[in-house]
Amino acid sequence: MTIKFGTSGWRAVIADEFTFANLTLVLEAIACYLKQQHLSEKGIIIGHDTRFGGEEFARYAARLLASEDIKVFLCERDVPTPVISYEIRRRQAGGGINFTASHNPPEYQGLKFSTSDGAPALPEVTQQFEQTFAKLYAEEKANPRKRTYPEFQTLVAQGKIELIDPNPPYLQRLREIVDTKVIAESGIKVIYDAMYGTARGYTDKFLKDLGVNVETLHDYRDVYFGGRPPEPSERNIPELIARVKELGAKGEFVIGIANDGDADRYAVVDSTGTYLQANQLLAILFHYALKHKPWKGCVVRTLATTHLIDAIANKEGIKLYDVPVGFKYIGEIMMREDMIVGGEESNGLSVYQHVPEKDGILACLLFVEITARTRQPLSDYLKMLYATYGHFVTVRENLRLSDEQKITLLERLQSQPPMSIAGKNVVKIDKRDGVKMICEDESWLLVRFSGTEPVVRFYAEAHSEERTQEIIRFAKSLI
């Protein structure tokens, strides 16, 4: 038996691989790591999202780790991933555990570990968990042992588990980043889709506290997420899009925002009813920050993210880093040097001197700020960027392949990558994360396997829709 920590932790189907038996060994591996790093006394933040079993898994983890003499700070209610990250840094804790499978379907549960700097654990840490788990699993098979832990309330009474509410300090931190005056004085109306997730009482509360007229959708817990994956994609927020479009058509100054299940991701719909891609939004935020924020430093994007970021960085004289897919790699650079904005095409971003973790709550609020200041739809802002820096069309497609097909495809691309794509020569090949092929006309194709789902992903970008579709057709011909 093996488990695998992907780009955002260990995720598995509840009662299949995600069981209390397997969780016990994962938690013991984490306890071993915390002790080896002399972090036991600093303690660990534990939280969960709105998924089935979240509270039970979190309380079980608290009991187990407290029994290992590790101080536990347990969040009182379901909590967003970026809030745990901020709380780790605020308390200078030894790390954090969040029981979340983020945007995966409802039958999944997950465990995400953040290190003492509030960042997602890098592979050198999660590989230790995997190795320790394998060792403990083998020992358990050979010699099963019965484990008993003190009752939850006993550990609370002893001070080994402390219940915390991380909401107030986190929202106060956001007030230091977001221009509250611009939003409060704008008269903007916000439609907010909480997607049955953890950001209810965070994103909407921040805005309501400013006196903003906020209309909420799906702002209660539903472990089935309304029958949809809690991913803030265009197809999963039809009610939000319809409502914003309806109000926009009446001339109202309105914007729609949404968060996924654990609020590390976001979605934005402007007053025309246009759902903007994360690639487009990241470019808008980067440009806006250069013009209206005092943030200084570099910009960071993943290999799968639009090169519109590069075009802006080149013209404005900003240093750019491109990193493998996974926000942990962006966080790694954030901890090394100042960063204006860092983000990825899968709706995750963070900003200057904030947490080294995706923050969908902050993202939503910043796009409300941008709209409040410019008083124009974000799609108009995007047109201005295209006119200034060039037009970019980006597409991502997912294909489910058998393990044999995936191995064959990857081996072929690694050993013999194509030297031309739909009539254009390949001038650069990057094999750091899958295989990325950049052509002479600046178009590109990235083929990689998801770290969170059993699919192969094709990412393509070009300066026209026609060329992008040619690249996607070429990619599918590789199967």
Q: Which helix (H) or strand (E) holds 384?
A: helix 378-389
Inform me whether the pLDDT recorded for 7 exceeds 90.
no
> Which token pair is 88?
């780790």
Nearest residue to 449 (alpha-carbon basis) of 419, 393, 405:
405
The CATH number of domain 393-477, selected from 3.20.20.70, 3.30.310.50, 3.40.50.720, 2.160.20.10: 3.30.310.50
pLDDT band at 270 (very low <50, low <70, confident <90, very high): very high
> Which token pair is 218?
């799906």
Beta bridge pairs of residue 152: none
Single-letter amino acid, residue 144: P
Q: Is-contact 69 212, C-beta < 8 A?
A: no
Maximum Cα–Cα distance across the chain: 70
| Beta strands 424-430; 420-421: pairing state | antiparallel
Q: What is the DSSP letter of 377?
A: -
The confidence score (pLDDT) of residue 451 equals: 65
The confidence score (pLDDT) of residue 259 equals: 98
> Which token pair is 18?
């995600």
Q: Is-contact 158 349, C-beta < 8 A?
A: no
Q: Please return the burial class of 114, using the count of CB atoms within 10 Å of its CB with bins 0-12, 13-18 and 19+.
A: buried
Class assignment of domain 169-389?
A: alpha beta
Query: What pLDDT digit, counting tens, does each position of 299-357 carry?
Result: 999 999 999 999 999 999 999 999 999 999 999 999 999 999 999 999 999 999 999 99
Nearest residue to 95 (alpha-carbon basis) of 119, 71, 79, 116:
116
Q: Is-contact 54 48, C-beta < 8 A?
A: yes
Query: What pLDDT digit, counting tens, does each position of 129-177 carry?
Result: 999 999 999 999 999 999 999 999 999 999 999 999 999 999 999 999 9
Q: Do domains 5-165 and 169-389 have the same CATH topology?
A: yes
pLDDT band at 452 (very low <50, low <70, confident <90, very high): low
Inform me whether the pLDDT recorded for 453 exceeds 80.
no
CA distance 391 to 201: 38
| Rg, Å, the chain Cα set | 22
Q: Is-contact 260 231, C-beta < 8 A?
A: yes
Q: What percent of the chain has pLDDT over 90?
A: 93
Single-letter amino acid, residue 184: A
Beta bridge pairs of residue 369: none
- Supply angle C-alpha 258, 49, 263, rounded to 5: 25
The confidence score (pLDDT) of residue 167 equals: 99
Q: What is the DSSP letter of 90?
A: H
Q: Which helix (H) or strand (E) holds 285?
A: helix 278-292
Superfamily of 5-165 according to CATH: Alpha-D-Glucose-1,6-Bisphosphate, subunit A, domain 3 (3.40.120.10)
Q: pTM of the full predicted structure?
A: 0.96
| Beta strands 72-75; 320-323: pairing state | unpaired
| Beta strands 72-75; 161-164: pairing state | parallel
180 vs 452, more confident:
180
| Beta strands 44-48; 5-6: pairing state | unpaired
Q: How far is CA 93 from CA 38, 45, 118, in A?
A: 11, 7, 9
Tell me the HSE value of 257 on the side-chain side, using a 13 A CA sphere: 32
> Which token pair is 425?
């020569």
Q: Is-contact 163 156, C-beta < 8 A?
A: yes
Query: What pLDDT digit, counting tens, does each position of 410-446 carry?
Result: 889 999 999 999 999 999 999 999 999 999 999 999 9
Q: Is-contact 435 413, C-beta < 8 A?
A: yes
3-state class (DSSP) for residue 150: coil
Inform me whether the pLDDT recorded for 402 exceeds 80.
yes
Nearest residue to 471 (alpha-carbon basis) of 418, 401, 412, 402:
418
Nearest residue to 361 (alpha-carbon basis) of 375, 376, 350:
350
Q: Please return the burial class of 172, using the count of CB atoms within 10 Å of its CB with bins 0-12, 13-18 and 19+.
A: exposed
Question: Left (φ > 0), alpha (ψ -120 to 50) or beta: where does 9 sit?
Answer: left
Boundaries of every domain in the chain: 5-165, 169-389, 393-477
CA distance 355 to 4: 25
CA distance 153 to 159: 10
